[in-house]
Amino acid sequence: MLNHYQRYPGFVYEKARLCRETQTIEISVRSRKGSRPMCSGCDRPGTVYDHLSPRRFEFVPLWGCMVVLLYHMRRVDCRTCGVRVEAVPWGVGKHQLTKAYMLFLAHWARKLSWQETARSFHSTWEKVCQSVEYVVQWGLEHRQLGPITAIGVDEIQYARGHKYLTLVYQIEQQCTRLLWIGRERTTDVLPPMEHRQNADPRTSLGGGLTP
Residue 120 has pLDDT above 60, yes or no: yes
- Mean pLDDT value of segment 15-39: 90
State mean pLDDT over 63-79.
Answer: 91
Q: Nearest Cα to 56, choosing from 88, 103, 10?
A: 88
Let me know whether 23 and 98 are in one domain.
yes
CB atoms within 10 A of CB 198: 8
Asked if residue 25 is part of any domain, the answer here is yes
Q: Is the domain of 87 the same as that of 176?
A: no
Claim to verify: residue 77 and residue 157 sit in the same structural domain: no
Q: Which residue range forms the structural domain that includes residue 97?
A: 2-141
Same domain, 135 and 173: no
Confidence at residue 124, expressed as pLDDT on a 0 to 100 scale: 92
Q: Determine if the pTM surpasses 0.85.
A: no
Statement to judge: residues 134 and 163 lie in one domain: no
Considering the domain architecture, whether residues 164 and 134 belong to the same structural domain is answered as no
Question: Residue 192 — pLDDT band, cuts 50, 70, 90?
Answer: low
Among 121, 141, 161, the domain-final residue is 141
Instruction: List, for residues 80-114, the tens digit of each pLDDT value.
Output: 899 999 999 999 888 899 999 999 999 999 899 99
Mean pLDDT over all residues of the chain? 84
Mean pLDDT calculated for residue range 104-131: 93
Pair (111, 25) in one structural domain: yes
Same domain membership, residue 195 and residue 129: no
Confidence label for 72 from pLDDT (cuts 50, 70 and 90)? very high
Residue 26 sits in the same domain as residue 104: yes
Assess contact for 98 and 66: CB atoms under 8 A. Answer: no
Please report, rounded to a whole number, the percentage of residues in the chain having pLDDT higher than 90: 41
Q: Indicate whether 90 and 162 sit together in one domain.
A: no
What mean pLDDT comes out for the span 189-205?
53
| pLDDT confidence of residue 75 | 93
Is the pLDDT score of 73 beyond 60? yes
State how many domains the chain has.
Answer: 2
Return d(Cα 25, Cα 4) in angstroms, integer.
Answer: 18
Question: Is residue 190 domain-shared with residue 120, that is, in the same domain?
Answer: no
Is 209 inside a domain boundary? no
The pLDDT score that the predictor gives to residue 136 is 87
User: Could you tell me if 9 and 113 lie in one domain?
Assistant: yes
Spatial separation of the C-alpha atoms in residues 89 and 29, rounded to whole Å = 12
Distances (CA, A) of 58 to 9, 32, 69, 146, 198: 19, 21, 6, 37, 35
Using the 3D structure, point to which of 93, 118, 141 is the last residue of a domain: 141
What percent of the chain shows pLDDT beyond 70?
Answer: 90
Res 146 pLDDT > 70: yes
Q: How many CA atoms lie within 13 A of 101 on its CB side?
A: 27
- Of 124 and 186, which is predicted with more confidence? 124
Is the pLDDT assigned to residue 208 strictly greater than 60?
no
Domain end marker among 86, 115, 141: 141
pLDDT at 210: 36
Distant-in-sequence, close-in-space partners of 121: CB < 8 Å, separation ≥ 6: 61, 104, 105, 108
